[in-house]
Structure 1
Amino acid sequence: MASFILAIDQGTTGSTVALMNQRGDVVAAVNHEFPQIYPQPGWVEHDAGDIWRSVEKGIASVMRKKLCKPGDIAAIGITNQRETSLLWDRISGEPLNNAIVWQCRRTTDFCESLKAAGHEKRVKRKSGLVLDPYFSASKFRWLLKNTAGARAKVKAGKVAGGTIDSYLIWQLSGGDTHVTDVSNASRTSLMNLKTLDWDSELLDLFEVPRSILPTITPSSAVLGHTRGVRGLPDGIPIAGVAGDQQAALFGQACFASGDAKCTFGTGSFILMNTGDAILQSRAGLLTTVGWQLGEGRKPVYALEGGAFVCGAAVQWLRDGLKIIKRAPDVETLAKTVADHGGVEFVPALTGLGAPHWAPDARGTISGLTRGSEQGHVARATLDAMALQNADILVAMERDLGKRMKPLRVDGGAAANDLLMQIQADVLGRRLIRPRVIETTVAGACYLAGLGVGLWSGTGELRKVWQAEKEFKVQMSATARRQRVDKWRQALERTLL
């Protein structure tokens, strides 16, 4: 019996292909990087051909390990960098242009013009998202207007568009299937959160024709089958798809309302399950679809907030200030002092995300004295990473109207025990780190396994998921209030 899930985790700098068994163990994982393209300041692109080749290499590398036969693969699950958008030719499958990456800011002026015209409330009410170049809709518009011959090909029915999940499913299915799941569609600013379909008013506002867009499907269901993929037999079901952060929420077994996870990566991404309730945030957070388990079933919604700079702040200490040689060294350096020593670092190196949405904010270091050391700067960096996350999570609790459950953590920086303890202390909530730290991979595998019946439901998956370590709150409520007050004073100076 086929009992393995092949996961494709297509990220911003590389693609990971992994293999999970029915016990939930990731038995193999291989990553292949691909080039980043920066045509001009603020612009970021990917060659979609590079992305697909990195996936093909990953599949070949994993299968060469001979941990299972190709026929032992029960399903394929996909998780992907979200918002990154591209167009390709329906006949040849060739990309019509480079993909515009989620980080790209080239459509800022257009988004600002929509804000000035009073469209933001309508966009947020329908899609759950703010008007920002981060999301896909303005990227599709730019591609359609700036790709030679695109409009003529659209009229001829020759253009397919989508986010990276759609492109991968197209390639895996040999061009037979053009779909996206509800979680990825909810990041485009074009899907109506209530109907789970493309919204005519939003399509008109962003000048995106419905004809180029994929069909929206559940996150867990048989969406297509492999055809012509090197190293894999035809007919393997593609049965699970979710954007990377929603996949991480699912991979952390955050199946109940109030469950939340924080992924510590280059930025930090925080999602809280809100059940079947579409909550419009009063604190500048985003409303998104978490997942949908099967056709006709109610979707699960989530609140999302993200800090643009999390692990990137540590990278800056390494590459900019050069006070550490390797990113993990920040923990050792921070432990050389008892606390932050009054030093505050607001890491607005690329602006501030939720709940502030201040793209023009710039980073500040304040509170320096003659007694300040490198260790204080390192500790202030870890504090800032945790404090900005706490701001988002407290806002989520207010929107949800109830106290959240223990926070589940993942991502590279989640291995930093000092950072995790600081996070528990400034948040005032227990943290849980999972045994399987590759939570985006786990989420893609869980969704795909459910889609083909490898697991019976989320109840069984709760038993598959296991904790590795817990971090209990060690800071008093009074000390927490004082620390948060100092942070907010520094934040206010940054926002002036």
Structure 2
Amino acid sequence: MTQKYLLSIDQGTTGTKVILLNDKEEIHAVSYQKHTQFYPKPAWAEHDPNEIWICIQKGVQEVLSNGKIEPSQITAIGLANQGETVLFWDDLGQPLYPAIVWSCRRSQAIAEKWEAQDDWGAKVFEKTGLRIDPYFSATKIRWMMDEVEQVHSHIRDQKVRCSTLDSWLIWKMTGGRSFVTDPSTAARTLLYNIRTGSWDQEILDYLSIDSSWLPEVIPTTGCFGTTSQVAFCGIEAPIVVSIVDQPAALYGHLCTDPGTSKCTYGTGCFVYMNIGTELPDKPTESLLSTIVWAKGDKVTYALDGAIYSAGSVVDWAMESLSLFDSIDELQQWSADWHHQMLTTVDEHCDNPSNLWFVPSLSGVGAPYWNSDFRGLFLGLSHGTSKKDMAKAILEGIAHRVADVLDTMKNVSVHPMTVLRVDGGLTKNEYLMQVQADLLGIPVDVPSTSTAETTALGTAYLIGEACGWWTTEDLKKKLVKTKTYYPRLSPTNREGIRSEWTNLMQLMTKFYSKKISAEAKGGRSQP
């Protein structure tokens, strides 16, 4: 009998990962294709959709070749996507402008104007679970409507579609037969009402967005169409899953029970806590609420907190500040710091260098929500070394994750007993140990074999949709992880976190005064 496989595609911010999974939940082949990041202006970020499509095709061809399998052996397909990244395209599938990436801040002015009008901020938060922010798709869409002539002319001629990347990719994969998305992705646009489960007409009317431009929303595990052999590497198979990358990672960690949580350490850090199938009557003001997946008419929600700068700060420290020559050098330093931590008694585990770093190079997300924040080193002296600064950067990332998870712990009715993590920075032993220390709970890091958490979560959902296994089957086979256990006493941990909180309060006060002074046409004072 011919072996069958599942094809899982994780289309991420910096590249596309493709995996083949067999019926024993084993990864058979993997491919990774990197695509170009475009930064035409400060705080702008774009992708070329056509380049991403080529990368997906190359990745699929590579796993078929390396895995020595035929296209006919693919049983089903799933796609994880970037979430908020959005584009306009014509009725032939040609992009009218580069895709505007989730991290792009070009629509800041549109967001601020919208937020300032009447009670729109509270209204949008209640409807979508999100804050009005250029992070999400809606203001990016409005910016393209205002600024891109190609978009404007196609709207006038009624030959336009608008979607997140998943819908465009599914359209390409199916040879133009399917124009669909799922609730987890729609929920990241700022246009989707997560309480009614539909595009919100009041928001669409305010932004002058026509619902006919937007894809149909169907459950996360459903029928997204069948791929075209001609368009998609000779494969003719059903697409049964489409999901945002962060919910896919949540599923990859099998955080399917309320109270379970994960953090992905990538370009930014993305924290999700599963809160079950019912939304609270009132949203939590300092956190976002979102849909993570929908199976039939059963929708699962999560609390969401984003830290905008994490891996990007490490890259900046290496490339712009030259604090270390390579990631390998940082890893070696971190291994030394980790060893020192494990041989230091609790009572002395404070912040001996008294050096702090706030990783907010492009604003700060949950739970502070201030787009004007910028990065800060505090405590520099003549004795400060490059190593000290690199160490403070890692500690700052851990503090920001702790900010979000402490807030979640305070508002959740479900106890948090462990944090499951994924992403490139989880290889840093020092960062992971500091994270456990600041949270006071164990941090579980996947073994190398399960490092493809987003693609794996997508594959788990595909196999479940195909009847190959159940979630309970998967939980019984959880792969062993490396666990970092907290070492600090509650008193010591609270002291360190209190100092950090004081620092963030100072930052908030400074930027509030700065904004106030600028609004009056004056000059801010510290």
Distance 2:202 2:159 in 1: 24
Task: Assess, with a 3 A threshold, how the Cα gap between structure 1 residues 369 and 148 changes in structure 2: closer, same or farther.
Answer: closer
Partner of 1:50: 51
Distance 2:107 2:259 in 1: 34
Q: In the TM superposition, what are the counterparts of 1:413-492 in structure 2 within 5 Å?
A: 413-435=425-447, 436-455=450-469, 457-492=470-505
Q: Is the 8 A contact 1:221 1:448 kept in 2?
A: no
The one-letter code matched in structure 2 to 1:392 is: V
Partner of 2:312: 312
Task: Assess, with a 3 A threshold, how the Cα gap between structure 1 residues 277 and 329 changes in structure 2: closer, same or farther.
Answer: farther
Q: Is the 8 A contact 1:172 1:229 kept in 2?
A: no
Deviation at residue 449 of structure 1 after TM alignment: 1.6
Q: In the TM superposition, what are the counterparts of 1:218-257 in structure 2 within 5 Å?
A: 218-229=219-230, 232-257=233-258
Q: Is the 8 A contact 1:89 1:158 kept in 2?
A: yes
Structure 1: unaligned runs, 5 residues or longer: none
Q: Secondary structure at the residue paired with 1:490?
A: helix
Deviation at residue 65 of structure 1 after TM alignment: 1.0
Deviation at residue 234 of structure 1 after TM alignment: 4.8
Q: In the TM superposition, what are the counterparts of 1:402-417 in structure 2 within 5 Å?
A: 402-417=414-429
Q: In the TM superposition, what are the counterparts of 1:327-342 in structure 2 within 5 Å?
A: 327-334=327-334, 335=336, 340-342=352-354
The one-letter code matched in structure 1 to 2:320 is: G
Partner of 1:379: 391
Partner of 1:76: 77
Q: Is the 8 A contact 1:192 1:198 kept in 2?
A: yes
For residues 298-321 of structure 1, the C-alpha deviation after alignment (integer angstroms, 9 at most, x for no partner) is: 100001101111122222221122
Confirm or deny that 1:397 pairs with 2:414. Answer: no
Runs of 4+ with deviation above 6 angstroms:
none
Q: Is the 8 A contact 1:154 1:212 kept in 2?
A: no
Q: Is the 8 A contact 1:110 1:138 kept in 2?
A: yes
Task: Assess, with a 3 A threshold, how the Cα gap between structure 1 residues 438 and 332 changes in structure 2: closer, same or farther.
Answer: same
Q: Secondary structure at the residue paired with 2:433?
A: helix
For residues 54-99 of structure 1, the C-alpha deviation after alignment (integer angstroms, 9 at most, x for no partner) is: 1111111221214432222111110111111112122x22112221
Q: Is the 8 A contact 2:83 2:188 kept in 1?
A: yes
Partner of 2:292: 290
Q: Percent identity?
A: 37
Confirm or deny that 1:60 pairs with 2:61. Answer: yes
Partner of 1:353: 365
Please report the TM-score for the alignment, with normalisation by the length of structure 2. 0.89
Q: Is the 8 A contact 2:324 2:386 kept in 1?
A: no
Q: Secondary structure at the residue paired with 1:348?
A: coil
Q: CA RMSD in A?
A: 1.9
Q: In the TM superposition, what are the counterparts of 1:8-407 in structure 2 within 5 Å?
A: 8-90=9-91, 92-118=92-118, 119-148=120-149, 150=151, 153-154=154-155, 157-229=158-230, 232-279=233-280, 280-293=282-295, 295-296=296-297, 298-334=298-334, 335=336, 340-407=352-419
Deviation at residue 157 of structure 1 after TM alignment: 4.7
Q: Secondary structure at the residue paired with 1:263?
A: strand
Distance 1:44 1:376 in 2: 31
Deviation at residue 385 of structure 1 after TM alignment: 1.2
Distance 2:155 2:194 in 1: 26
Q: Is the 8 A contact 1:406 1:432 kept in 2?
A: yes
The one-letter code matched in structure 1 to 2:192 is: M
Partner of 1:6: 7
The one-letter code matched in structure 1 to 2:405 is: L
Q: Is the 8 A contact 1:273 1:301 kept in 2?
A: yes
Q: Is the 8 A contact 1:340 1:379 kept in 2?
A: no
Distance 2:212 2:17 in 1: 31
Please report the TM-score for the alignment, with normalisation by the length of structure 1. 0.94
